[in-house]
Amino acid sequence: MLNHTFGPYAAIDRLGRKLPLPEKVGTLRENRYVGMFYFINLTWKKGMRPLKDNSKIWRETPEAFMDVSHPVWETDGCYWGEPLFGYYEHGDEWVIRRHAMMLTMADVDFILFDTTNLTMHRENALKVMKIFNEYQQAGWNVPKFAFYTNSEPGKRAQEIYENVYKAEMYPDVWFRPNGKPLLVGRPEFCSDEVKAFFDIRLTQWPTEHIKKEGALPWMAFERPQFVFVNKDGENEAMSVSPAQHPQIKFGDSAFHGETQNRGRSFHHAFHTDKNDAAPGAVDWGYNIAEQWEHAIENDPRMIFVTGWNEWVAGPFKRPENKERPVTFIDTASQEYSRDLEPMRGGHFDNYYIQLIDYIRRYKGCTPWPQENSLATIDIDGGFDQWRQVGPAYRGFPFFEIARNHTGMDGRQYVNESGRHVFDEMKVAHDGENIYFYAKCFDKINSYNFTPWLLLFLKVTKAGCDPLDHPSWAGYHYLINHELLDGRNSLVYENLGGWRWKSTSVAPIRYEGKEFHAAVPRAALGLTGVDQFQIEFKWADNIAETEDVDDFYLNGCSAPYGRLNFVYRAGE
């Protein structure tokens, strides 16, 4: 599969935390799985009342949390905050495609759909599986799927079996670590047909008696988390989550002073097991970091993360409770919520980068590839010069598919910015230049003064700290920000923030689907340097908002989002 052919991605988050690389965490271990709880219940229907945002309600009308009759509660649910992709419904194809890329790049192995209530959400489940399967068929090893059941467990398991498995819907993305497709449920309520077909793990609710053997927990209220074993007594499964609500109602802590629940900033190091009160503590993920550390120490076969994209809960009204009349159960505020998907503002993508970090600490990461990149490329020559250069860095397809979907706030979300979609990229070097190559899935259009085949570079030399050089989002140089003509591009050096100064010229050539450029070593401070590393990202038709979220929201980037490819020389 394409995932592990070009080495690990690199990144540094807004807090300055770098992703570990193979030298620190080793290469991928076999028989270790990371799962993600994934939610598919949000569907916009005609006549619905638009969903609200608790963060805005708390900021603008905090008195509403003491008044069950307040008009803000005339809604069918509340987000705890705004997702990066807006108040989307779970069937939004454009969003699902970005989830597929993000979770694949994170090396998540499996997804468990939340079907613990009174429906399997058939339409959304099949849509998500269909879209992930498209990436699987394109050569990517995507997370595989299974279902987590609880209410009406026999009926739900039968419904899932008949609509997905018996119907043979997308079998290439079924999760089957032991051969049979996995299902989390209660076998005593299941038909013989279901029990024979599935590898059934026991549903483990955090409020019920611990089953110890054969269970797969979605949340642990105890601390540290319990280790569940298999029939051979081996450590099999543990849960990790960014926040926990043993008092049951997250809203009581978010809005009414309850202290029994543990927020995102909870950790042992702060005042004997309390939330860290320091400004910005919620951005660091202290709580889930402690849970990851405990899980890694016990090294189970599976670590299950709750969760990715829950976001919404309904207001729970208790007019008889004069002190806490309006509350929420599963999610309430930034502090008291458990989504790892990036949010707009706030902690942004910190929890996503932290997820990748701990997945690597648990099971290792992609090894460095074999390189064949010492070459001189004639920019005026043909692109077949690149055939023997390796590795080939790969980008995801389907960025050109536009967004046009109604959100849960009633708004129509539209994004048609996908244009040049990067397929294959390479790097080579000789004593004079660093050469860059990109191949798109379709023909490259001429430069038209919009962000066109941008190439961002972070350069690290042996013995030098890249932080000593001014940068934007860690990038020191930018190519193709402006073309002199159809054969030459300006090389820009960063001056701090989104300020750039042209310092050199790079010859370029493009034809059909392919592009290449020769960037002088001198322009990158690499004259006579034998050992260096370049993190790089291609981006096209981004909005140039001067914010990293542009790489998630607009145009096409390779790799997607904050992550970078890594090219090493002389290692």
HEC letters along 332-376: CCCCCCCCCCCECCCCCCHHHHHHHHHHHHHHCECCCCCCECECC
Q: Are 9 and 18 in contact (CB under 8 A)?
A: no
Domain range for residue 392? 383-569
- Residue 141 DSSP SS3: coil
Specify if 152 maps to a domain.
no
pLDDT computed for residue 370 by the predictor: 87
Query: What sign does the CA torsion over 349, 353, 355, 356 have?
Result: positive
Q: Are residues 473 and 522 in the same domain?
A: yes
Specify if 117 maps to a domain.
no
Core vs surface per residue 369-386: b (16+ CB within 10 A) or e: bebebeeebebeeebebb
Q: Are residues 349 and 395 in the same domain?
A: no
Specify if 498 maps to a domain.
yes
Q: Are residues 409 and 480 in the same domain?
A: yes
- Closest Cα partner for 341 from 359, 330, 355? 355
Specify if 234 maps to a domain.
yes
Specify if 84 maps to a domain.
yes
pLDDT computed for residue 271 by the predictor: 53
Q: Are residues 229 and 340 in the same domain?
A: yes
pLDDT computed for residue 465 by the predictor: 75
Is the pTM of the predicted complex or chain greater than 0.85? yes
Residue 170 falls in which region: left (phi positive, over 0), alpha (psi -120 to 50) or beta: left
Q: Are residues 30 and 75 in the same domain?
A: yes
pLDDT computed for residue 269 by the predictor: 63
Tokens of 367: 């090894």
Q: How do the pLDDT tens digits run along the chain, 571 residues long?
A: 788 889 999 999 999 999 999 999 999 999 999 999 999 999 998 888 999 999 999 999 999 999 999 999 999 899 999 999 999 999 999 999 999 999 999 999 999 999 999 899 999 999 999 999 999 999 999 999 999 999 999 999 999 999 999 999 999 999 999 999 999 999 999 999 999 999 999 999 999 999 989 999 999 999 999 999 999 999 999 999 999 999 999 999 999 999 999 999 999 865 566 888 899 999 999 999 999 999 999 999 999 999 999 999 999 999 999 999 999 999 999 999 999 999 999 999 999 999 999 999 999 999 999 888 899 999 999 999 999 999 999 999 999 999 999 999 999 999 999 999 999 999 999 999 999 999 999 999 999 889 999 999 999 987 677 777 999 999 999 999 999 998 999 999 999 999 999 999 999 999 999 999 999 999 999 999 999 999 999 999 999 878 999 999 999 999 999 999 999 998 7
Specify if 453 maps to a domain.
yes
How far is CA 565 from its chain centroid? Answer: 16
Helix, strand, coil share of the chain (percent; to 5): 20, 30, 50
Separation CA 163–CA 153 (nearest Å): 15
Q: Are residues 346 and 389 in the same domain?
A: no
Q: Are residues 238 and 95 in the same domain?
A: yes
Q: Are residues 12 and 48 in the same domain?
A: yes
Q: Are residues 408 and 502 in the same domain?
A: yes
- Residue 386 DSSP SS3: helix
Q: Are residues 389 and 302 in the same domain?
A: no
- Closest Cα partner for 487 from 463, 460, 506? 506
Could you tell me which residues come within 8 angstroms of residue 275 by beta carbon, excluding any fewer than 6 positions away?
Answer: 262, 263, 265, 266, 281, 335
pLDDT computed for residue 273 by the predictor: 66
Separation CA 141–CA 237 (nearest Å): 22
Specify if 491 maps to a domain.
yes
Which of 363, 394, 423 delimits the end of a domain? 363
Specify if 263 maps to a domain.
yes
C-alpha to C-alpha distances, 417 to 155, 197, 380, 399, nearest whole angstrom = 43, 44, 31, 9
Domain count, the chain: 2
Q: Are residues 353 and 404 in the same domain?
A: no
Q: Are residues 323 and 401 in the same domain?
A: no
